[in-house]
Structure 1
Amino acid sequence: MERLNQSDSIEDPNSPAGRRHLQLQTQLEQLQEETFRLEAAKDDYRIRCEELEKEISELRQQNDELTTLADDAQSLKDEIDVLRHSSDKVSKLEGQVESYKKKLEDLGDLRRQVKLLEEKNTMYMQNTVSLEEELRKANAARSQLETYKRQVKE
C-alpha cells in the first residue's frame, strides 16, 4: 500500500502520474498564457474594428457629400451648356438686330431720297404741264399765225 501510495503520488516528479501532472500543469500554464494573449489580441482587434467602422462611416459620409457635389456639378454643367446655347442665340440675334438697324438707317436714307425724287418729279410734272400749256398756246398761236399768213397772201 505504501509502495502503491508512493508510486501514484502526484507530487513525485519521478512517478508517471507526477510527470503527467507536471506536463498537464505546464500545458495548462501555456494554454492560460495563450488565452491571455488571444484575449489581448481580441481586444486589439475589437478596438481596430471599431476604428475601421468609424472610418467606414466617415468615408460613407464623405462619399455621400462627394456624390452630392458631383450631382451639383453635373447640374451646373448642364445649366452652363444651356446658358452657352442661349448666349450663342443672343449673339446671333444681336447680329441680326445690328443688321436690321443698318437696314432701317438705309431705309430712312432711301425714304429721304424718294421724298426728294417725288419733289423733283412734282416739279418736273408742273414744268411739263406748263410747257404743254405753252406748247398748246404756241400751236394755237402758230395756227393763227398761219391763218394770218394765208390771209395776208390772199
Structure 2
Amino acid sequence: MKILWTIVLWVMLMGELTIGNVVAGLLVGVFVHYVLPLPKLPIGQLRIHVGSLIILIAQWAWQLVVASIQVGWLALWRTPHSAIIKVPMRVESEFVFTIATSLYNLQPGGTVTDIDLANRTWTVHLLDASSHSKIDKAFAEIAEFERRLIRTFE
C-alpha cells in the first residue's frame, strides 16, 4: 500500500499520468520503502484517549488563532523583546515528546530551539518576553499544553 501511495504522489508531482511516470513512481517507491526504510515508531504503550484528543486539537487550534493575532499585532505595532528559556518537560514517551515539539513549533510566537532528551527539557525562544508576567505566562501555557498531552497520550 505504501508503494501505491508513492506512485500516486509521484504522478501528481510530475503533473501527468503516463506509463513512464507510473514506472518511475514504482521505482522511487521500491527504493524509498526497501532501501531506505524508516524505523518503527515507538508506540507500543501508547494509549490515545479520544475525548482528550478532541479537546487537545480544539484548544491547539484556538491557540493558533490567538497566537497568530498576537504575533501580527507585535509585527505591526511593537518591537518584540525576545528571550530564551529552559522548560522542563514531564512527558515520558519519546513519541509524545516529539508530538509536543512539533505542535509547539507550529504555533507562532515561540519555537523550540533545542531538545535535551536525556533531561527532558526544551530550550524555547519566546518572541514576546517584554515582561516577567509574559515569561511566566509562557511557562504556564507550556505546562498546560504538556498536561493536555499527558492526558491524551499517557
TM-score category by the smaller chain? under 0.3
Q: TM-score, normalised by structure 2?
A: 0.20
- Which has the bigger relative contact order, CA under 8 A and spacing at least 6? 2
Mark the structure with the bigger radius of gyration: 1
Query: Where is the strand percentage greater, Structure 1 or Structure 2?
Result: 2
